[in-house]
A = this chain, B = another copy of it.
């Protein structure tokens, strides 16, 4: 049975303007690989309703899961929850379960649970909450869409809560052979080997170190025995 598939939607003007470098996509990619869910696409869109809804509708129809990051804070540019509700055609408002969590937190920390902060308790109907052990304001899952914060610490904590609840497949494993040759010298033999192992994915990644060129040859797949077999043949093709 093939692994479940996933896409990610990174939401935020600050990413597209170059102010902030996204790190959540790379974190998610590593975590999904380990969990046996195949990340198939990532999109970055601005904080605009039409862009979010359009991308979300395309991705949730095409893949088993969609993970979003960004736009669920208390300020006027945080419009992700409303856009998700619109995409699903459900009502959104401050929900009692989310408000209770947050009211308790702000009472304990002696800060005001004001109107802006209550905005973070706006959750679409039918969604289930995603725990936020860092700063309490929850994410949520609705159907196959998991809506999480953009702040990396919070994104990572939310993902750590969600991922164990999702059915995974076989983890994507990889082995790497480093060769002291350029890609152009290994391409022919590498392609021939790849053609013999259609169940594996083989990629080559050139680098320059201390003025010398080299290439990392990577074999990826879900069957450790097959990867090792192919790697043995690859090492024989390109001895150190």
A interface vs B, CB < 8 Å? 10, 12-23, 25-26, 28-33, 38-47, 51, 55, 73-77, 111-112, 114-117, 119-120, 151, 153, 172, 174, 182-188, 190-191, 194-195, 201-208, 218, 220
A51 to B63, CA, bound (A): 13
13 extra A-B contacts, CB within 8 A, seeds A15-B42, A16-B41, A40-B45: A16-B39, A16-B40, A17-B172, A18-B39, A41-B55, A73-B204, A73-B206, A74-B187, A75-B204, A76-B195, A77-B194, A77-B203, A119-B187
A68 CB, nearest partner CB in chain B, Å: 15
Are A14 and B203 within 8 A (Cβ)?
yes
Q: Closest CB of chain B to A67's CB: distance in Å?
A: 13
Nearest CB on B from A42, distance (A): 4
Instruction: Tell whether A185 pairs with B13 under 8 Å between CB atoms, given A191-B75, A194-B76.
Output: no
Which residue of the partner chain, among B17, B44, B111, contacts A220 with CB atoms under 8 Å? B17
Most B-side CB within 10 Å, residue of A21, A30, A151: A21
Q: Is the CB of A29 within 8 A of B51?
A: no
Contact (Cβ within 8 A) B18 A184: no
Most chain-B Cβ atoms within 10 A of its Cβ — which of A14, A75, A186? A75
The CA-CA distance from A40 to B50 in the complex, in Å, is: 12
Given contacts A14-B203, A17-B29, A19-B218, contact A184 B39 (CB under 8 A): no
Chain B residue contacts of A17, Cβ below 8 A = 29, 33, 39, 172, 174, 220
Contacting residues, chain B, for A76 (C-beta < 8 A) = 187, 190-191, 194-195, 202
Instruction: Chain B residues near A120: list those with CB within 8 A.
Output: 184
